[in-house]
Amino acid sequence: MFKFHTRIVGLVAVLAAIGSASVAEAKSHRYSATLVSEPLSVGDGYPNTGGTAFLAGTVTSNRFGTGAVVDHLTITGRPWGGPVTTFEGTEVIVFDDGTQRNKFTGYDVPQDDGSHRIVVNGRYTGGTERYRGATGRYKFEGTIPSGSTVLTGRSTGRVRF
């Protein structure tokens, strides 16, 4: 009986050490990135409240390299009245060494020249391979030129994995 309890205590100690090592190895990484994307498909009355869109494009990061990005967003409304539109969504970014996942909220402000200013705040919700367990936050600001559907912008943030 004593040997059995000793083995369990030893196993728990080993598992705790392994868990602590993986947490200790996680590091925070500041980054900046440029993104270019455009809608692949829209539905449910987009761009009206409740409408949805899938967007895809490329991202180039100073820290993670070049990758592909896919967003799914839902229009949540016009809470301030007027032309400003709010939205929320999810994003997956695929790099050579794994994927990053995040959730975001944002708003679209039409400009006098017909362009749109886009502002997004996001939160990392995980990843695969190198980015497994990713957490952190970022901010994105971009524009859609008048008469276009192509979004171009820049994000900065910090992600821990």
At 85, list the tokens.
């539109």
Dihedral angle over CA of 14, 19, 25, 30, nearest 10: 180
- Interval 1-34: pLDDT, tens: 445 444 444 444 444 444 444 445 899 999 999 9
Which residues sit opposite 41 in a β-bridge?
54
Which residues sit opposite 104 in a β-bridge?
89, 122
Q: Give the domain CATH number at 156.
A: 2.40.480.10
Report yes or no on 142 lying in a domain: yes
Count of domains observed in the chain: 1
Report yes or no on 147 lying in a domain: yes
- Interval 115-161: pLDDT, tens: 999 999 999 999 999 999 999 999 999 999 999 999 999 999 999 99
